[in-house]
Amino acid sequence: MSSIDTLFTQLRSAGRKAFMPFVTAGDPDLDFTAEVIRRLAAQGCSLFEVGVPYSDPIADGPVIQASFTRALGHKIRLADTLATLGGVTPEVRTPIVTMLSYAIVWRHGLERYVAEAKAAGAAGAIVPDLPVEEAGPLAEICRREDFSLIQLVTPLTPRDRARRIAEQATGFIYYVSVAGITGERATLPPEIVENVAWLRSQTPLPICIGFGISRPEHVRMLAPVADGLIVGSAIVRRIGEGAAKSRAQVLQELEAYVGELLAAMTG
C-alpha cells in the first residue's frame, strides 16, 4: 500500500474527509512553498498537490498559469521541486503528490522520475495530459513501486472511458467538478453529486473533487459525497497577491482561509 492508500483507510475509519491544497513550487520561492506546506499540514490538511511549473498550460486557469510563469522566471525546474520536497517531507506526516506534464516525465525518463520522486518523499503524481490509452507504461511502474498515479475523470468523460480510467488509476480518482480550466467559481453544478455517486459505484478508490472549489458553501455541498476536496486557485491567488505583504501576513491569511474551509468540512 502507498502512503495515500494508508491515509484514506485511516480517514474512512475515523469518518473524516481529506482536504488537499494545491501550491505551485517556487512561487514566490521554494522556501516559501515549503513553509506553506509545513503550516497548512500543522493546521490539519491531509494531502498536498505540488505543481511543477510548466510553460504550456494543461487544464490550468489564469491564476495557476501566472504562478507557473513566475516560478519559471525564477528558473524553478523539476530537480528543484524534488529537492524541496526532500527537505520538507520528513517534517510533515501528510502525503504529497506532484502535478506535472507528461512531457516532463517523459524527458526525465519514467523509471527515473518515479525513483527520484519517491526518494524525495513524494507519494504519487497527477499527470493531467496523459490519456488513459497511453498511461500503461507509467501506470505499471507506479504500481510496482507503490507510487500512486492519480488520474482525472471529468463531467464530459464517457462512462465506459471513466471505468477504464478507474481501473488503471491508483491512490484516488481526481474528479473534475466542471468542464474547462481551473479557477474560482461562484457556484458549482448540482449534477456533481449524481456524477460522483455513479463513479463511486464503479470503483473502490477514494474520489477527490477539484476545480472551482473556493468557498465554505462549496465544501458543505461536496464533502458529504467526496472522500476529499482539492483547492488550488484560491490558495495560489492569495499567495500571488501577497507580494506587497510580509510573508508572515500571507501565511496568517492562508491559515485563516484554509481554517474556514476545514471548519466547513466538519461543520
Coil vs helix vs strand at 7: helix
Name the average pLDDT for the chain.
92
Q: Can you say how many angstroms the Cα of residue 232 is from the centroid of all Cα atoms in its chain?
A: 8
pLDDT over threshold 50, residue 107: yes
pTM, entire model: 0.93
Domain boundaries of the chain, sorted by first residue: 3-266
CB-based contact 19:232 (threshold 8 Å): no
> Per-residue pLDDT for 194 more than 90?
no
11-20, 54-63, 66-75, 138-147: range with lowest mean pLDDT: 54-63
Percent of the chain with pLDDT over 70: 93
What class has domain 3-266? alpha beta
The pLDDT of residue 147: 97
What gap in Å lies between CA 172 and CA 136, rounded to an integer?
17
Question: Could you tell me how far CA 259 lies from the centroid of its own chain?
Answer: 18
Q: How confident is the model at residue 211 (pLDDT cuts 50, 70, 90)?
A: confident
Residue 67 banded pLDDT, cuts 50, 70, 90: very high
- Determine the pLDDT at residue 187: 52
Determine the pLDDT at residue 89: 97
Active site residues: 49, 60
The CA–CA distances, whole Å, from 11 to 8, 62, 206 equal: 5, 33, 10
pLDDT of residue 260: 97
Q: Give the mean pLDDT of 85-100.
A: 96
Q: Which residues of 175-209 are buried (b: 16+ CB within 10 A; e: fewer)?
A: bbbbeebbbbbeebeeebeebbeebbebbebbbbb
